[in-house]
A and B are shown apart, each in its own frame.
Chain A
Amino acid sequence: MDTELIKGTLSLIILSLLGRRAMYGYEIAATVKKETNGVLEWNAGSLYPSLHKMEKDGMIRGEWEGEPDTRQRKYYHITKAGRSALGEKKESWSQLTTAITQIMEKSK
């Protein structure tokens, strides 16, 4: 699938997943791959910088969990600002897909 198209929707996907529950990076990538049957699969080259950008912007909050002597994972939690942004992004996405679908149907 067009990776540029995926990149544009990355923050929407991440916020949607974290809207369900807190997840760590690998889990986010694995969940997207599994739930889309591999159609949406990106590499960490896009995922981790996006997670850090969103954390810096206050959309999500990362917290290391697990005992220091065992495996530690950085879980990302959606923040209040993130939930608000998610609502707006969902609305924009809905409008965009509707508009594109209409164009494509008329172009048949």
Chain B
Amino acid sequence: MNDIDRYLDQACRQVNGPDSLQAHLRKELKEHLQEAVDALVAAGMSTDDATAKAIEDLGDPEIIRDGMQSVYGPGVTSLFVEQAIKWKDRRWHLRAQIGLVLTIVLSVFFVGFVLVKVIPLPHHLGKQHGFAAPGMLQPTVIGFFSVVYEYRYLLLLGLAAAVGLFEWKYRSDNKPLIRTSILVGMSLVSVVSALWVATWTVVTLVLLVREILPPD
């Protein structure tokens, strides 16, 4: 992302209205900047200096955004985003991100433990004690995670590639906020998945025990 795009992001974000309005504002301001850069370059300035001067002349992007918000109103999520931007403090983000990553890792390990250790348990018990153990609710509940487990290395590779691409290519002042938001989403999915697996494991184990143990 170059300086002009970064400037346009700051000037056009959180203006109420359809995406087409923001695209329209962006296009108009970009046209202004390009026009200014062309004029300065024609006057003998280097492209980099001309870009910096054009941006400086256009003024504080927050003033443009505030002005546009006074015309069209602030974006619906403006309050949340503004609040979140206040949390841009690196230390806050770092702590939050470490906590979220730990949550995801613990959830993944738990699901993995259930898949590898708990699911085959009835089969082993049946073998040891000489009875035919009924299967757990594996196909309906755990099926999805079994597929994930089977392709774990491929998925990890894909995840690493996506993270690498994001860290390498994405340039924005809101990068820590976006990183935290993605981790919040992932940790929610992982925690819900772990709870889901835990609930069904308990239910099926109870059913299994009732089936194995002779009635009083």
Q: Which residues does A use to contact B, with CB under 8 Å? A: 24-26, 29-30, 43-46, 48-50, 52-53, 56, 71-74
Contact = CB atoms under 8 A, between A and B. Distances in A.
B6 to A, nearest CB: 16
B186 to A, nearest CB: 38
Contacts, number: 58
Contacts of A30: 39
Interface residues of B, number: 21
Judged by DSSP, the binding face of B is: helix
Query: What are the 8 tightest A-B residue pairs by CB atom distance, in nearest-first order?
Result: A49-B67, A43-B59, A45-B63, A45-B59, A26-B35, A44-B58, A26-B32, A53-B71
B117 to A, nearest CB: 61
Interface stretch (B23-31, B45-53, B131-139): B23-31
Contacts of A26: 31-32, 35-36
Contacts of A73: 31
Contacts of B67: 45-46, 48-50
Nearest to B35: A26
Given A44-B64, A48-B64, A74 B31 contact: yes
21 contacts: A24-B31, A26-B32, A43-B59, A44-B29, A45-B58, A45-B60, A46-B63, A48-B25, A48-B64, A49-B67, A49-B68, A49-B70, A49-B71, A50-B67, A52-B68, A53-B70, A56-B72, A71-B34, A72-B27, A74-B27, A74-B28
Contact of B58 (A24, A43, A52, A72): A43
Given A26-B36, A43-B59, A48 B29 contact: yes
B57 interface: yes
Contacts of A50: 67
A52 B32 CA distance: 15
Of residues B34, B36, B71, which shows the largest number of chain A Cβ atoms within 10 Å of its Cβ?
B71
Nearest to A24: B31
A90 to B, nearest CB: 24
A74 B72 CA distance: 18
Given A26-B35, A74-B27, A74-B31, 18 more contacts: A24-B31, A25-B32, A26-B31, A43-B58, A43-B63, A45-B60, A45-B63, A45-B67, A48-B25, A48-B29, A48-B68, A52-B71, A53-B71, A56-B72, A71-B31, A71-B34, A72-B27, A72-B31
